[in-house]
Amino acid sequence: MITAELPRGVAGLYVRMFTNKIIALSLAIFLASALAHGHAAEKSGVGDAAETWDEIAYFRWQAAHGHDLQGDARKTAAFTQKAPYDTATPGDKLDRAGDEKYLASQDYQTATKHWEKAANNFKSAGDLDKARKAMEKCRPSIASGQAYSS
């Protein structure tokens, strides 16, 4: 069996493009379902914007957590015994693991920004309890990935 290895940068580019498409698709589905419901059309204002930012941040956090887990799996795979048909070197596998960790950190940072927007909108709407909860979610998201809990 002949296998071809993509250049290092191309493989990471395909992963990022795929991830961005998944995130965009999930956000589009979320927004379409929110607009389809009658109660969503009736509500308007800052509270709805805050809820939307909270949901978007949660989706970003999930994507980041997935990248984090994938990076851990790739790092572990780099140190396992190589199959005879596997042409990737451990260094290449570690580079891919590093790419996944980088994508995770970017998504954690984006989720943090979205939770901050949600907190500011909750404050503007006068819901200080939800604003406090949104800020609590965003503080540990970059460091540990343990941000979201209902």
Which structural domain range is residue 105 located in? Answer: 8-35+54-138
Is residue 42, in this structure, part of any structural domain at all? no
Number of neighbours of residue 63 by Cβ within 10 angstroms = 22
Domain count, the chain: 1
Q: Does some domain include residue 13?
A: yes
Residue 90 lies in a domain: yes
- Is 44 part of any domain? no
Whether 102 is in a domain gets the answer yes
In a domain, 83, yes or no: yes
The per-residue pLDDT string of the chain (150 residues; one tens digit each, 9 = 90 and over) reads: 455 554 555 556 666 777 877 887 677 677 666 665 544 433 457 778 888 988 999 999 999 999 999 999 999 988 888 778 878 888 888 999 999 999 999 999 999 999 999 889 888 888 888 888 888 887 754 444 554 444
Domain-located, residue 144:
no
